[in-house]
Amino acid sequence: MEKPKPDDRSNNPERIENTIGHTLQNMDEARDFEKAHSEEMSEEEKQQIEAKNQRREESIEGMRQEIKDEVNDQKK
């Protein structure tokens, strides 16, 4: 039976930064899509995109806090 791998958190801040970058890119793409197709979209579809971007923004804030926590933990 294989031993479980030890929990390696040394690259967590970098991984979280990458996730933030991808999330920001998704937000930009959603805004660009909305701008390009706004005349063809219903108000509900526009609101859904805006709501999703709001949730993404909230996630980014949480991830930024998580980075701070990880960096503080690594300093100990």
Of 31-35, 50-54, 68-72, the poorest mean pLDDT is in 68-72
Tell me the mean pLDDT in the region 32-57: 97
Per-residue confidence band for 1, with pLDDT thresholds at 50, 70 and 90: low
Q: Is the pLDDT of residue 35 over 90?
A: yes
Calpha distance 34→53 (Å, rounded): 11
Rounded mean pLDDT, 28-48: 97
Neighbouring C-alpha atoms within 13 Å toward the C-beta of 37: 13
Q: To which residue do tokens 């970098």 refer?
A: 14
Tell me the pTM.
0.81
Q: Which two tokens stand for residue 3?
A: 């031993």
pLDDT of 50-69, one tens digit each?
999 999 999 999 999 999 99
